[in-house]
Amino acid sequence: MLRYTAKRAFLALMVAFTVSFATYFLLFLSTDPALVIAGEDAEPDVVAQIREQYGFDRPVFVQYLDWLGGVLQGDFGKSIYWRQPVEDLIISHAPVSLQLALMGVFVTIIVAIPLGVIAAMRPNSIVDRFALSVAISAQAIPNFWLGLMFIILFAVMVPIFPVSGDETWQHFVMPAIVLGTSSVPSVMRLTRTGVLDVMASDYIRTARANGFRTYRLLVRHALRNALLPVVSVLAVQLGAKLNGSFITETIFAINGLGRLTLESIYGADIPTVQMLIFIFALMFVVLTFLSDVLNAWLDPRIRLG
Amino acid sequence: MAEATASSAEQEPVALSPGEALRLRIRNHRGLLTGFGIVCFVSLLAILAPLIAPYDPSEQVLARRLLPPVWVEGGTWDHLFGTDTLGRDYLSRLLYGGRISLLIGLGAASIGCVIGVTLGICAGYFGGRIDQALMYLFTCQLALPGLLLILALVVFIRPSLPILIALIGALGWTLYFTVVRSATMQMRQFDYITAARALGSNRRQVLFYEIMPNLLNQIIVVFTLEVGFAILAEAALSFLGVGVQPPTPAWGLMINEGRSAMFFRPWLVILPGVALFILVIGINLMGDGVRDVTAPENRN
């Protein structure tokens, strides 16, 4: 187990570094930060001076190592657009995003898992077909459009929840539903397949043949095994929600990390964008690592195989 | 279970040739037929847009701004779906918008396909170090926040259609990769590959004549799903104002433009969204259907 964990941790670390360099390099190639700071119609010698002052004239690799050294010491760089340290920006915007992502995953869980289980208990029944059409529809709905529909419907016709801002928990209800919907299809399908597989397994058949009630079997024995892969997918979905919420945050005027990234991109604020994308990648890597380790701990076949 | 086997045995007598069996499965698959119908219908409308659109999609008639669609009070048959904030005919813009969606969907999915299939075959066929290296690349790609990175790059480079297609495609190869990789790995051990080698086929012949044809079904399934993803990604980017640029009509952009008026004229936002939904659901139904119909485990 320790060996497996160490191996996974090393891989996660490598991936995080590779991703940070790839992002740095791509953003470096795509624009000229000196020109952004100086403004579009600045004199060439002013641009040159800024380039030298900020060190943009050095080779990309040197700049990257410089940046990485800072990050490792807790210095995330200084935002060009917001004119404050990037770490302050991240700390002030993170809680809102985290709350939204957790609530989104919660919505996914309470919709997708029961739906998947019920569908699997009666394969090819009306319930199963209904669950499948929910999955197919949710996959095809543009998420940002769903958000707008909710705003039109609930803000104007049935004003139950506020549709803009992030002051109270009620503000998060509608965005969380919108954000949660996007991962309902995958989690539901996975739950359904998992339960179907387990219910067809020998130990369940034996127990049924011995007269156990199906419902009790499901809750006591089948779900535990069937939901193993679902747990790891949910961890990954949480990571995806943290960075995928930028559209939802924009629509519902929630001042989280996603919206911060978007506005930094519009402001051509490369240090902030670079750091945020790295943070998102890092969170994804960490969550994947945790879910791998959790799975290996729960299922010895993975760590030994 | 026993019943299902009995009834399918009645439907598919043993005497059917593989081709006939496939045709029968296609005919009995309602989802596939519906999806295929939708995709054909939307594609036809999009291709024929210059012929059937009643107006020029970028012609602005300011005297006829924000007309409602025909089923809303005040709507006229002159503008079936009404007009937008600049007085452009909404139906014409929707028809032309379909072209953009399909163009971006097909373009991006093709680019992703070329990258993903090539890497997947390499990883699956050669295995070992090459596989490890490509798997590492795959893990890194998964960790990247795709849509955000595309957004940043598009904004920094300058929003334009070719760049949009290239970026969505270049970051959309992972699904092809996993599917093709594991299929190739399985296939490598089959007897017909060994037989082809024993008959003197070189590596290129084995790849192109033995492995590629057998991957085709799975690639088609992933391709359709990726077209759907790419269309939704483009719509989201255009909605944020960094995808397709005005005055080009694109559904995501139309939703963005209609947003300011959406409380009093909700159809401006509803119609392009419904168009997106219908097209993508058609594409996904088709992809799921092709998978069901061609999957080996469904064959008796």
pTM of the model: 0.89
Q: How open is the CA angle A276-A281-A286, to the nearest 5 degrees? A: 125
Residue of A nearest to B236 (CA): A144
A290 touches chain B (CB under 8 A): no
Q: Which fold has domain B29-298?
A: MetI-like fold (1.10.3720)
- How confident is the model at residue A227, as a pLDDT? 83
Cβ-nearest to B263 among A31, A142, A156: A156
A233 touches chain B (CB under 8 A): no
In sequence order, what are the residues at sequence separation of 6 or more whose Cβ sits closer than 8 angstroms to the Cβ of residue A295? Answer: A228, A231, A232, A302
What average pLDDT score do residues B19-37 get? 87
**What is the residue-averaged pLDDT of chain B?**
87
In chain A, residues with a C-beta closer than 8 Å to the C-beta of B280 are 139-140, 142
Q: The tokens of A304 are what?
A: 């030994």
Write the burial class of residue A151 (CB in 10 Å: 0-12 exposed, 13-18 middle, 19+ buried): buried
* Residue type for position A190: L
In sequence order, what are the residues at sequence separation of 6 or more whose Cβ sits closer than 8 angstroms to the Cβ of residue A252? Answer: A147, A151, A163, A164, A165, A166, A171, A174, A175, A178
Taking the CA atoms of residue A180, residue A185, residue A188 and residue A192 in that order, the dihedral angle to the nearest 10 degrees is 180
Question: Contact, A89 vs A260, CB < 8 A?
Answer: yes
Cβ-nearest to B140 among A22, A136, A144: A22
More confident residue, B176 or A54: B176
pLDDT along chain A (305 residues), means of 10: 87 91 86 75 80 80 87 84 88 91 94 91 87 90 92 79 79 90 91 87 84 78 81 85 86 91 88 90 90 81 69
Does the pLDDT value for residue B13 go beyond 60?
no
Would you list the domain boundaries of chain B? 29-298
For chain B positions 244-263, those within 8 Å of chain A (CB to CB) are 252, 255, 259, 262-263
Q: DSSP string spanning B126-172?
A: H-HHHHHHHHHHHHHHHHS-HHHHHHHHHHHH---HHHHHHHHHHT-
Percent of chain B with pLDDT over 90: 47
**Interface mutation vs chain B, best among A26, A205, A265, A283, most B CBs within 10 Å:** A265
Distance CA A134, CA A121 (A): 17
Residue of B nearest to A272 (CA): B152
- How confident is the model at residue B94, as a pLDDT? 94
Measure Cα distances from B55 to B31, B59, B62, B72 in Å: 34, 7, 14, 20
In chain A, residues with a C-beta closer than 8 Å to the C-beta of B234 are none
Distance CA B238, CA A301 (A): 46
**Interface mutation vs chain A, best among B38, B155, B227, B231, most A CBs within 10 Å:** B155
Does the pLDDT value for residue B101 go beyond 90?
yes
In 3D, which of B241, B253, B244, B172 has the Cα closest to residue A262?
B241
- How confident is the model at residue B296, as a pLDDT? 58
Does the pLDDT value for residue B247 go beyond 80?
yes
* Residue B279: pLDDT band with limits 50, 70, 90: very high
B27 touches chain A (CB under 8 A): no
Distance CA A53, CA B299 (A): 68
- How confident is the model at residue A41, as a pLDDT? 75
Does the pLDDT value for residue B43 go beyond 80?
yes
H helices of A182-304, in order, are 184-199, 202-209, 214-217, 223-226, 228-244, 246-251, 257-266, 270-298, 300-304
Name the region of A78 (left: φ>0; alpha: ψ -120 to 50; beta: rest): beta
- Does CATH number 1.10.3720.10 belong to domain A88-304? yes
Cβ-Cβ contacts under 8 Å between A and B: the total is 121
Determine, for residues B144 and A277 on separate chains, whether the beta-carbon distance falls below 8 Å. Answer: yes
Give the number of residues written for chain B: 300
Q: The tokens of B104 are what?
A: 């971006």
Determine, for residues B139 and A148 on separate chains, whether the beta-carbon distance falls below 8 Å. Answer: no
Determine, for residues A15 and B136 on separate chains, whether the beta-carbon distance falls below 8 Å. Answer: yes
β-bridge mates for residue B89, sequence order:
B83
- How confident is the model at residue B9, as a pLDDT? 46
In chain A, residues with a C-beta closer than 8 Å to the C-beta of B281 are 136-137, 139-140
Question: Contact, B99 vs B93, CB < 8 A?
Answer: no
Question: Contact, A133 vs B281, CB < 8 A?
Answer: no
Cβ-nearest to B149 among A23, A145, A250: A23
Question: Contact, A178 vs A146, CB < 8 A?
Answer: yes
Does the pLDDT value for residue B300 go beyond 50?
no
Cβ-nearest to A148 among B157, B262, B284: B262
Does the pLDDT value for residue B220 go beyond 60?
yes
In chain A, residues with a C-beta closer than 8 Å to the C-beta of B237 are none
Cβ-nearest to B236 among A144, A151, A281: A144
In 3D, which of A174, A176, A177 has the Cα closest to residue A154?
A174
- How confident is the model at residue B297, as a pLDDT? 56
Question: Contact, B286 vs B105, CB < 8 A?
Answer: no
In chain A, residues with a C-beta closer than 8 Å to the C-beta of B228 are 139-140
Cβ-nearest to B143 among A156, A265, A284: A284
Q: How open is the CA angle A181-A224-A221, to the nearest 5 degrees? A: 130
- How confident is the model at residue B11, as a pLDDT? 53
**Chain A: nearest CA to B143, how far in angstroms?**
5
Name the region of A215 (left: φ>0; alpha: ψ -120 to 50; beta: rest): alpha
- Give the Cβ contact number of residue A225 at 10 Å: 17
* Residue B4: pLDDT band with limits 50, 70, 90: very low
Distance CA A243, CA A286 (A): 14
Does the pLDDT value for residue B66 go beyond 60?
yes
Residue of B nearest to A284 (CA): B143
Distance CA A114, CA B202 (A): 52
What average pLDDT score do residues B214-232 get? 92
Cβ-nearest to A280 among B136, B145, B259: B145
Does the pLDDT value for residue B295 go beyond 90?
no
- How confident is the model at residue B14, as a pLDDT? 62
Distance CA B150, CA B148 (A): 5
Question: Contact, B267 vs B82, CB < 8 A?
Answer: yes
For chain A positions 89-148, those within 8 Å of chain B (CB to CB) are 136-137, 139-145, 148
- How confident is the model at residue B112, as a pLDDT? 96
- How confident is the model at residue A155, as a pLDDT? 75
